[in-house]
A and B are shown apart, each in its own frame.
Chain A
Amino acid sequence: MEDQPLDSAEKEGVSRRLFLQGAGAAAAAAGISRIPGEVLAEEARSREITELGPEAEKITLKVNGSDKSAAAPPSTTLLDFLRNDLGVTGPKRVCDRGSCGACTVLLDGRVVDSCSMLAVDAVGKEVTTVEGIGTPDNLSQLQKAFIEKDALQCGFCTPGMVVACTAILNENPKPTRDQIRDGLCGNLCRCGTYQNIVEAVESVSRTGGK
């Protein structure tokens, strides 16, 4: 690999160095690392990077408008933290590697696969799950449209679909049919509700709601 990618990654302050530091001792013993661990640790301190783990740490996230805390190892994904530690089970674990979208949540309004990022990386950001889109007593226009258009069968993809479609409409209240389909490309449904979902989004778009 060229030097370029590593350099640019370091400039962004990503955790590559921390990872190397953790792996440092073993790697050095194996004669792999060229970077002494202490140098890395010193640099980390000078950059004010917080070291976490591997033991459980208290993590506080703003989920659906309120702060929620639990202790979990920093290696915990956002999805597992939501489900296993906070009991927020709307987002589903289906593929666990970012290919199906069943775990879709909004992070500061942007769509993310919560299985493919760490909970600690969501600290200080607004996490919105399907539970935050609308409740049984206060459904969003989109949720109502999902119900009317039968845009769900078994319902296991539905929480991710509702969040993804909410984001599509947030970005563009008047999406074309192709834009809706493109917006759904990260979400799989096995029962076959795609056409109904597109119709649900279109019906909301027509009436100007969300």
Chain B
Amino acid sequence: MPQEITIKVGFGNQFRELTVRIQDDDVKPWQPSDRLHLIGQSYPRVDAVAKVTGTARYAYDQQPEGMIYGKILRSSHANSDIVSIDTKKASQMPGVKAVLTVPDVFEDQTARYAGAEIAAVAATTEAQAEAALRAIEVEYDIKPHSVTVEDSLKEDAPQVGRGSQKNVVRTSPRMGRRGGGNADSRLARQEAEVKKLIDEADASIEAEFRTEVQTHAPLETHGGVCTWEDGRLIFWASSQATFGFRNEMTSGWSRVKAKDCQVLAEFVGGGFGSKFSAGREGVLGALLSKEAGVPVHMMLDRSGEQLSAGNRPDSIQQMKMGVNKDGQIVGTRIRSWGTPGAGTGGAGAHNDAIYNIGETDKIEYGVRTNTGGARAHRAPGWPQGAFALEQMMDMAAEEIGMDRVEFRKKNDDHPIRSVEYDIAKQRIGWDKVGSSTDKTKRTGVGIASNLWFSAGGGGASALVRISKDGQVEVRNGAQDIGTGTRTVMGMVVAEELGLDLEQVTTRIGNTDDPKGPASGGSTTIGTITPAARLAAHHAKRQLLEIVAERKGWNASELDLKDQEVHQVGKGSTNLNFKDACALMDDDAIEVLKGRPRRNYEGFCDTNAGVQAATVEIDEETGEVKVKKVVAVADAGKIINPLTSESQVRGGVIQGVSFALFERRIMDRQKGRMLNDDLENYKILGAADCPVIDVVLLDVFNGKSNTQVMGLGEPPIVATAAAVANAVSDALGVRIYDLPITPKKVLEAIARRDAARGADSESKPKQKGERL
């Protein structure tokens, strides 16, 4: 039977009462009037000591007895089929213990990008493994290739796929059986309707935007260390989905088919969406270890990481928007193209969300190219979509002569974001961003928004153990990829038990422990913490039952606070936590609880967020400096402001990096990635880092007993868009392509000055036109 309870939901000065049904054994969500002793205060990470002393052991650092090294041979051709592989010489090389080929293991004869896996070797030393790779002889059937969207779109383009696979596939909208006629005819009707709306609007604007492929570049590469014990695979993995990896190793596509598997990932050197699958490197590592009979260390080198371990697809986004003078957007037409590599899915851009953009006619195309495949990348599709949409918003506001922020508010009904605009404006000094004192430098300010959906869901259990000696432990087998999940899990349990954080031991990253989610969709914290709190709550009740029985008290009047047993309304009983635990007959109380599968009715299903950025641009060199970013963020209840702020700063920094630097450079002739490293693939460094001012809103959303939402992805959505709008504000001319390099800035200035020259000859200025 579900319980019916009344709770307060909302934030700031906007609270309301709500009667909701919650699972019968669940605890009431924390209320604004609750006096919480550690939730909402900043705590350093529980694993920080291990990380600053080098004692944290990542997958890369595992060195089980007898370990040897695995290496992967990759194709240097952009598009080929493997005719034959001769591994005889390689297998006789010094130190070589096992050799596998991709056609044998994966039954795949194709190598559709330069960097595709061909074969793998395990040898006693890395140098021996590398020497053996060089001795493998491969005969390729080399085919013509295409590594850019433009080339793949050409009529006489080489076929990237095999069989009847087309280079270009319409990936959205996926029209179901709604309405009459086939999908094409329905899309044609939609196109005509939206065209009419835009044509009849007071004004319309139109532009084409482009973003580049961004690699995840986690500092710890993909892979892991594998060993077998009595038919059981032990896999220290660099993983953001420990249980997903286990499933891959025991079933499914991987062909490892271990009878049993333990995945261990206590420390993970970043993931950002690229480590949901063990990948071919994981499978090859496991199988090499099986064949060699010893542990195998199989971590990608940096080149392999950049070529084959995923990326954020590029985008070409054509947008046309109709807007009325009162600021209402009436209709938007969108066509976009992007390449996820040799496949076609996952290259969409979320340029139709966040605001109400009227009736929408949107079609997306996935374009096959002979490049490394895309993987989910921190808010997949969102930063590139926001880059286009938010510039359209600025252009539309300018076109009808409306303030940029007022125009956004007019087309936005998010209850939290409506407050966040003004906080962002005030903190950045919106009206005070003046001109630079330096004649050659110009300053500008821009704004953009986030949207996310990270309240979490079912799929996690937590085990809380209170020992007779007063030790407390919480276990969940999921991973912490740097987000702070582990610390927050400990804080939730310590809060429930009235303890200090140091008194709670946290165990994570081990699939022998209770199930946890993949770190995806920023849902980890919202999924794990309600289970942890629930398990802690029931462990506490069991302990208090024992105390009540021994002391002759009424259990329902007891609670744990300040490390003591309290009686409701009477305060401390002077029985401290440790002495209470000593009253147990058994060694420990252990409670395993699963999270309620569904979220409750609450205040708001989504997180919002607004960011404002200021830039300073040197008009002589074209260099753009992002000076400051104000990031207003919300994520339900904020458990740990310290680590929450870090998440936001991290998102902003990757966003600035995406805006100014990052770009996969392909050689169209050779079909190879030219910057498969970290010196020519530029990511933001300390000297490029803006001042980041994080404002966190604490929202009681009522969705679960902790009301937490994740914060990994939302902050990266707006940043590049806010920077681009600030650049336009500074220069008086818009840049439509990422990254915003000095070359593009100088070209834009030249276009601007040429147009101004034309203006002075009394030609009318075409607003919104691409100069």
Contacts and interface: CB of A to CB of B under 8 A. Distances in A.
Contact of B689 (A162, A181, A190, A191): A181
Interface in A152-210: 152-159, 162, 180-182, 184-185, 187-198
A195 B53 contact: no
19 contacts: A93-B60, A95-B679, A97-B302, A99-B679, A100-B678, A139-B53, A152-B45, A153-B484, A154-B218, A154-B267, A181-B687, A184-B685, A185-B686, A187-B686, A188-B219, A188-B685, A191-B482, A191-B650, A197-B686
A99 B55 CA distance: 23
A73 B646 CA distance: 42
Interface string B41-63: 00011011111111111101101
Interface residues of B, number: 57
The secondary structure that dominates the A interface is loop
Interface stretch (A14-22, A44-52, A142-150): A142-150
Contacts of B686: 180-181, 184-185, 187, 189, 194, 197-198
Interface in B210-261: 217-221
Contacts of B127: 73, 75
B83 to A, nearest CB: 32
A136 interface: yes
B317 interface: no
B685 A196 contact: no
A155 B51 contact: yes
Given A95-B677, A153-B483, A191-B482, A139 B52 contact: yes
Contact of B270 (A154, A162, A194): A154
Given A150-B45, A154-B270, A154-B481, A195 B689 contact: yes
A136 B52 CA distance: 9
A61 interface: no
Given A89-B54, A139-B49, A190-B683, A153 B646 contact: yes
B605 to A, nearest CB: 27
B488 interface: no
A190 B217 contact: yes
Nearest to A87: B63
Interface in B49-96: 49-58, 60-61, 63
Given A92-B60, A156-B219, A196-B646, A185 B685 contact: yes
Contacts of A197: 686
A89 B57 contact: yes
A183 B208 CA distance: 40
Interface stretch (A3-11, A24-32, A126-134): A126-134
Interface string A68-110: 0000010100001001100101111111110110100000000
A135 interface: yes
B651 interface: yes
Interface in B510-563: none
Nearest to A151: B52
B643 interface: yes
Contacts of B60: 89, 92-93
A150 B642 contact: yes
B53 A135 contact: yes
Contact of A159 (B54, B652, B683): B54
B195 interface: no
Nearest to B299: A93
Contacts of A100: 219, 678
Given A97-B677, A195-B649, A195-B691, A152 B685 contact: no
B301 interface: yes
Nearest to B715: A192
Nearest to B652: A192
A147 B55 CA distance: 14
Contacts of A155: 47, 50-52, 56, 267, 269, 482
Contacts of A188: 219, 678, 683, 685
Contact of A156 (B220, B642, B677, B683): B220
A90 B646 contact: no
Contact of B53 (A92, A134, A191, A198): A134
